């Protein structure tokens, strides 16, 4: 059995919830950021956050965060459209090469969903990078690095080829577990 892969995007509050517990449930998981906006465009999907179910979804996320002892969710102004950017995802690919992807992911999630800061603003990404122990200027340079861009593109294409239609998603031996509420199912499958 191959290790599970956790696919996520930093603009997703459900991925934020999952990122706070995936290592506990799936300690061998590999994390791959993906450009979920591109997945949506390719699939012609409209996310719940832009649908009439938006208020219900936001209330559900706030409820789950409270149940899990996380700080109250602060929604950034203009979320999700005005807060979406490839910059934090590229920073995560760079951080992965430095062994700090999880730390940066959690710092980015704190910025957007606990502080209400937009990750479309590069300075917020760089502050999170510093918090994760990365050199902000190295991260800034990496945002335009072709290798970093290619890795993000590869992970996004890989996810779509495996059938990922939303985030968070865990893929384990070809089986797709989409949603924060499916992490336990993925963990059960991983344990056999």
Q: What is the pLDDT of residue 2?
A: 87
Element (H or E) spanning 78, and its range? none
Q: Which residues of 144-168 are buried (b: 16+ CB within 10 A; e: fewer)?
A: eeeebbebbeebbeebbeeebebbb
Q: What is the pLDDT of residue 93?
A: 98
- Contact between residue 97 and residue 139 where contact means Cβ atoms under 8 Å apart: no
CA angle 134, 116, 69 (to 5 degrees): 85
Residue 114 — φ and ψ, nearest 5°? Answer: -110, -35
Taken in order of first residue, the domains within the chain and their CATH numbers are 5-190 (3.40.30.10)
Q: Which residues of 100-113 are buried (b: 16+ CB within 10 A; e: fewer)?
A: bbbbbbbbbbbbbb
pLDDT in tens, the chain (192 residues): 789 999 999 999 999 999 999 999 999 999 999 999 999 999 999 999 999 999 999 999 999 999 999 999 999 999 999 999 999 999 999 999 999 999 999 999 999 999 999 999 999 999 999 999 999 999 999 999 999 999 999 999 999 999 999 999 999 999 999 999 999 999 999 998
Verify cis geometry, omega within 30 degrees of 0, for the bond prior to 168: yes
Q: Are strands 169-172 and 5-8 parallel, antiparallel or unpaired?
A: antiparallel
Q: Which residue has the tokens 């509420």?
A: 181
Separation CA 50–CA 41 (nearest Å): 13
């Amino acid at each position: 059995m191959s290790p599970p892969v956790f696919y996520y995007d930093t603009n997703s509050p459900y991925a934020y919830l999952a990122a706070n517990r995936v290592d506990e449930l799936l300690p061998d998981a590999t994390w791959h950021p993906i450009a979920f906006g591109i997945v949506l465009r390719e699939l012609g999907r409209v996310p719940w956050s832009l649908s009439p179910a938006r208020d219900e979804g936001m209330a559900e996320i706030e409820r789950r965060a409270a149940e899990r002892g996380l700080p109250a969710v602060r929604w950034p102004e203009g979320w999700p459209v005005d807060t979406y950017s490839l910059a934090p995802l590229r920073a995560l690919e760079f951080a992965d090469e430095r062994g700090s992807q999880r730390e940066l992911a959690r710092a980015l999630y704190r910025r957007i969903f606990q502080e209400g800061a937009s990750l479309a603003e590069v300075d917020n990404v760089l502050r999170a990078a510093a918090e994760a122990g990365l050199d902000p200027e190295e991260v800034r340079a990496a945002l335009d690095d072709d290798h970093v861009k290619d890795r993000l593109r590869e992970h996004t294409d890989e996810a779509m080829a495996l059938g990922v239609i939303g985030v968070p998603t865990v893929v384990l031996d070809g089986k797709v577990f989409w949603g924060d509420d499916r992490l336990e199912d993925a963990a059960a499958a991983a344990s056999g």
